[in-house]
């Protein structure tokens, strides 16, 4: 009987872990919650003055032009990291609930011996 109780406990824990992960991913994708903040980097910027050939007349010094903003780059990176972490938790929840289901199944062993075939 204790294996049935353990099986139900593992099944419920695995399903709760899967439900939490799915709910968290849904919240992040609908912008109701912020993803885990792992990345805080700088944006991608280029100095357009360095791309002009040197034989042209001298242009005034220009500041660096931002190609991809830091907030956009960090948001995409953080959402991707959050999705990967939650998908890992879904797979862990699946394994835990599978173990619980295996404990809940009855174990039936049918042996075929030579004596039973002779009768």
Q: How confident is the model at residue 67 (pLDDT cuts 50, 70, 90)?
A: confident
Q: What is the model's pLDDT at position 59?
A: 60
pLDDT digits (tens, 9 = 90+) for 71-110: 899 999 999 999 999 999 999 999 999 999 999 988 888 8
| Secondary structure (DSSP) of 68-102 | E-HHHHHHHHHHHHHHHHHHHHHHHHHHHHHHHHH
Residues 57-73: what's their mean pLDDT? 76
pLDDT digits (tens, 9 = 90+) for 17-54: 999 999 999 999 999 999 989 988 888 887 776 767 66
Domain locations in the chain as residue ranges: 2-53+60-118
74 or 67, greater pLDDT: 74
Residue from 49, 46, 27 nearest 36 by CA: 27
pTM: predicted TM-score of the whole model, two decimal places? 0.73
């Amino acid at each position: 009987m204790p294996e049935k109780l353990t099986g139900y406990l593992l099944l419920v824990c695995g399903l709760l872990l899967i439900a939490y992960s799915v709910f968290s991913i849904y919240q992040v994708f609908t912008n109701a919650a912020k993803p885990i903040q792992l990345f805080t980097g700088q944006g991608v910027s280029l100095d357009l003055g360095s791309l002009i050939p040197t034989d042209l007349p001298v242009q005034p010094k220009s500041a660096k032009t931002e190609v991809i903003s830091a907030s956009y780059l960090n948001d995409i990176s953080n959402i991707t990291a959050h999705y990967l972490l939650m998908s890992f938790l879904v797979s862990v929840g699946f394994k835990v609930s599978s173990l619980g289901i295996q404990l809940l199944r009855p174990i039936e062993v049918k042996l075929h011996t030579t004596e039973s075939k002779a009768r």
